[in-house]
Amino acid sequence: MASPSNSAPRLAFVAAATPLARDARAKLEKRYGAVPPAQADIVVALGGDGLMLQTLHRHIHRGTPIYGMNLGTIGFLMNTFKETGLLQRLREARQVSLAPLRMLAINTRGHAHEVIAINEVSLLRSSRQTARIAISVDGRKRLPDLYCDGVLVATPAGSTAYNLSAHGPILPLGAGLLALTPINAFRPRRWRGALLPRHSKVELTVLDPRKRPVAAAADSVEIANVARVTVTEATDIDLTLLFDPEHDLEERILKEQFDH
49 has catalytic annotation: yes
Using CA atoms, how far apart are residues 181 and 179, in angstroms rounded to an integer? 6
Q: Is 203 annotated as a binding residue?
A: no
Q: Is 136 annotated as a binding residue?
A: no
- Coil/strand/helix, residue 170: coil
Q: Is 23 annotated as a binding residue?
A: no
Q: Is 117 annotated as a binding residue?
A: no
- How far, in Å, are 78, 177, 244, 252, 256 from residue 248 at the CA level? 9, 19, 6, 6, 13
Q: Is 48 annotated as a binding residue?
A: no
Q: Is 157 annotated as a binding residue?
A: yes
Q: DSSP assignment, residue 30?
A: H
Q: Is 185 annotated as a binding residue?
A: no
Q: Is 6 annotated as a binding residue?
A: no
Using CA atoms, how far apart are residues 38 and 259, in angstroms rounded to an integer? 39
Length of the chain: 260
Catalytic residue among 23, 41, 49, 238: 49
Q: Residues forming the annotated binding site?
A: 49-50, 119-120, 149, 157, 160-165
Give the active site residues: 49
Q: Residues forming the annotated binding site for NAD(+)?
A: 49-50, 119-120, 149, 157, 160-165
